Amino acid sequence: MKRVLLVPLLLVAACSADAAVTTTSAPAAPAPTTAPAPATTDSSAVGAPVTFTAQVWADNWFSLYVNGELVGEDSVPITTERSFNAETITFTATYPLTIAMVTKDFKQDESGLEYIGTDRQQMGDGGFIAQITDTSTGKVVATTTTGWRGLVVHRAPLNADCLSSADPSTDCQHEITPEPTDWTSPTFDDSAWTAAIQYTAAEVGPKDGYDTITWSPAAELIWSGDLKIDNTILWRATVTAG
C-alpha cells in the first residue's frame, strides 16, 4: 500500500518543480522593457548640441520648453494692453526636439472676459504661430501645424449669456483642467490630446510684430477648437531630424 501512494507524490513533486522553473523564468521577461529607457536617454545625448532660433507671435502670451527645459517666454507681460509682439528665442539642444509651449489669451479674471465694466467688455480671442530654425543649416525644422497636439487648461466663459452681465466675475462660468505632471517631458504621452486647428489670418487678426518676421510657408496660425473660449492651452510637437 505504501509503495502505491509514493508514485503520485513523486509526480506532484515533479510538477511543482516544473512550475517553479517557469515562475522563476518569468521575472526575466521584464528585461526587454528596459530597452526603451536607454533609447530615450540616448535620444537626448546622441549628436552634437545644435543652436536653434524660435520665432513666435502669440495672441497674447507664450512660454517655450524644449526637451523638458524652459528656454524662453514672451517678454511682454500678458497684463500689458494689446500685448502683441514677435519674439526670437535662441537655445541649444540635441535632436530629437520635444517642443512644448503654453499659450494664453488674455483674460481679466476667471470670467474669461476683458475690459470688464467698460463699453468694450468682451471675450478676447487667441491664436499663435511659430517656427524653429536650425542655425547650423539655416533650415526651418519645425513650424506650427495641425500636427501639433494641445490640451486646453482654461475655458471661459462657458455661458455666453454672461457677456453683458454687470458682474461677469460672478455670472460667467469657467473650467480649469490641471496641468499633467511632466507634460513638457520627451517621454510624456500626449496621444489623448487633440490636434491643433489651423486658422486664417483674417480669423486671428495677427497684429504688431507679426509682419516683422518672414514666416515659412509651412507655418500655420493655430489654436484649439475655439479662439475665444479656450484661453490657456498646452502644446506639444516633436522634431525628429534636422
Place of cell 507655418: 219
The number of angstroms, rounded, from the C-alpha of 69 to the middle of its chain's C-alpha atoms is 13
103 binds Ca ion per the rule CB under 5 A: no
Residue 105: CB minimum distance to Ca ion, A: 4
55 binds Ca ion per the rule CB under 5 A: no
Of 117-146, which residues contact Ca ion (CB under 5 A)? 124
Site string for Ca ion, 145-174 (x = CB under 5 A): ------------------------------
111 binds Ca ion per the rule CB under 5 A: no
Residue 218: CB minimum distance to Ca ion, A: 24
Site string for Ca ion, 15-54 (x = CB under 5 A): ----------------------------------------
How many residues lie near Ca ion (CB under 5 A)? 7
End-to-end CA distance of the chain: 80
Element (H, E) at 51: strand 50-58
Q: What are 138's three cell numbers?
A: 539655416
231 binds Ca ion per the rule CB under 5 A: yes
Place of cell 530615450: 40
60 binds Ca ion per the rule CB under 5 A: yes
Q: Which stretch in 1-9, 48-56, 166-174, 230-238 sits in contact with Ca ion by CB under 5 A? A: 230-238
Contact 66, 99 (CB under 8 A): yes
Contact 230, 107 (CB under 8 A): no
| Phi, psi (deg, nearest 5) at residue 57 | -125, 125
- Rounded CA-CA distance 151/80 in Å is 25
Q: What are 140's three cell numbers?
A: 526651418
74 binds Ca ion per the rule CB under 5 A: no
Q: Which residues bind Ca ion (CB under 5 A)?
A: 59-60, 105-106, 124, 228, 231
